[in-house]
Homo-oligomer: A and B are copies of this chain.
Amino acid sequence: QLEKLRNRFNYVASSCKDIRDRYDEQEDGLYYLTTANGMVYQTFCDMTTAGGGWTLVASIHESSISGRCTVGDRWSSQQGNDANRPDGDGNWSNRNTFGTAEGTTSDDYKNPGYYDISAKDMSVWHVPNNFPLEHWNLASILRYHTSNRFLSLYGGNLFELFQQYPVRYNIGSCSNRGPAIPIVYDFGDEESTRQFYGPKPRRESEPGFITFRPINYERAAMAICSGLKPTGCNSEHYCIGGGGYFHPEQCGDFPSFDWDTLGNEQDWSASKEMSEAAVLLFYRQKNKLHI
């Protein structure tokens, strides 16, 4: 056990894929990684799903659904609704980091892997708030991954993708949304995805996709629609993250998941399960030759 822990600290690897391939590690858990510049950090590796090698790089956690772009809304704006600050806090496309792997279901998380790892696919886990690391996998209400290597087309990670599709107020209209990528379910399915959102979002979206940078009627930009492709323009009720300006009652990390009563799955409102689960983002690195 002791020896095992010591070993984990001695890898010099840039991603969980790297550790899996080079050291044949197959156990889920925390590992040390190193960026191209030599910055060291610890994060969680999913070594089992669909071949393993998935690196946790971020989580989007809503700490106050009634707090509209207040403290804790790091994936939209902590400065209130402000049209003069169209990018909000800008964390989708900068190198700021925050949080820790073990705390990732208790508050927002972003590690250097978010901008450093060159990946081809993503996976997403929706984990109920405050669940401990050792139960994330089983506790997840939804888990899926992409398999078409779409990130290769967009620079290798979300940092690069969102340079091409800025999460910025007034950058375009509803028809200018970013890519919608088909997903493979690891837990849950299209029907359960639909049920996690409200009755009205079900009528303006299609399950089985992850979609980037949707824009709504009011020209507010969001970052990710998890599990869905929008077919309408009220994405603030089922997509997460965002720029710095929304309709006054909608700004936040889960911008307007509570429009018709919090956690009530009524009209536009998402289910309680979805509203109180952190969204964990994983990358899987491109294969590379061994050093």
Chain A contact residues, CB within 8 Å of chain B = 1-2, 5-6, 8-9, 12, 29-30, 34-35, 37-40, 42, 63-64, 66-67, 70-72, 78-79, 82, 84-85, 89-90, 93-97, 99-103, 105-107, 112, 129-130, 132-134, 291
Contacts and interface: CB of A to CB of B under 8 A. Distances in A.
A105 B97 CA distance: 12
A276 to B, nearest CB: 12
Copies of the protein in its oligomer: 3
Contact of A89 (B35, B63, B89, B133): B63
Contacts of A107: 94, 96
Given A39-B100, A42-B40, A67-B79, A95 B89 contact: no
B71 A8 contact: no
A100 B97 CA distance: 7
Closest 7 CB pairs of A and B: A94-B106, A96-B106, A30-B38, A71-B78, A96-B107, A95-B103, A95-B106
Given A5-B34, A39-B100, 11 more contacts: A5-B38, A63-B89, A67-B85, A71-B71, A71-B78, A72-B89, A93-B130, A94-B103, A94-B107, A94-B130, A97-B100
Contacts of A30: 37-39
A133 B99 CA distance: 21
Contacts of A29: 37-38
Contacts of A37: 29-30, 102, 133-134
A95 B85 contact: no
Nearest to A39: B102
A66 B95 contact: no
B6 A95 contact: no
Nearest to A41: B100
A135 to B, nearest CB: 11
